[in-house]
Structure 1
């Protein structure tokens, strides 16, 4: 994937595609790393950044874009033209579009995990679905089963780590994973294996 993204980067002039490919050329966590950078430069924690913060974040992350490309990107991300970019819109725009097949697989996994059928996943839903018996912190007695389940749940819970994962958060997590997997067949296999679909 990294080599493929680097190769594609040579042939594109679209600023959004260049930014996306530069992130993907860093590997599976490239877009996630840029998202972390976004959070770091968001000094007032309002989940929005202005143009100067955006420019600094892109530079600090080590991505190379021309001034006009940066301005074009910021304008694309600033959907309502209010001079700031919203974190969620930024990530949605940056990630490549997902096929309906991938979205359906993600929703199947969510439905399987949501054992209480209340539209969210909690540690209660995970009991009996996710086995913590081999987790190192459970084995050494550092964490209880509930603590291990909560740690696992927190990896999907993007906002406040409140122990509740919504469909949107679950889909958002897997859109990041999807962005790093070119092959639909591999994504399908990975989801079916991971969640025994």
Structure 2
């Protein structure tokens, strides 16, 4: 697997879009993974953060990340949301009932995460966040909170509209984090 390392270029205006464009160009050039390095000094990576939706594509991405970054503490981050929460609140459902629904949603997500980690056959820690903000802010906030060394993300979906939306999300995450980023093809 070919991994390309791209150094972060500090630009005074809009550095996240500039550096993301460079990394995506390397992926279009045939790289299987691009490591976007922000620091200048060499350091050993200790902690990687991998946001996942527990899908098959996410499992493939995790396996690819483990080939690029072996022997690293890995946190699987899953953002779960209780569907229809706003409607339930508007309908006057009690706080206790909403909390019970949230706990059930979180328990189902945790069980799915355990199955996902078992399928990946890797040692990992599962972190679940109940989503109450856009996922980009949740991922960036968690990466900063745990001081992740590397954030592992897919390069994104094909297609003009979905690809543009994904690139916008990646720019937001890059602008709000300080860790290195591994983009997977």
TM (norm. structure 1) is: 0.23
Question: Which has more helix, going by share of residues?
Answer: 1
Question: Which has more strand, going by share of residues?
Answer: 2
TM (norm. structure 2) is: 0.24
Q: Which has the higher contact order (CA 8 A, sep 6+)?
A: 2
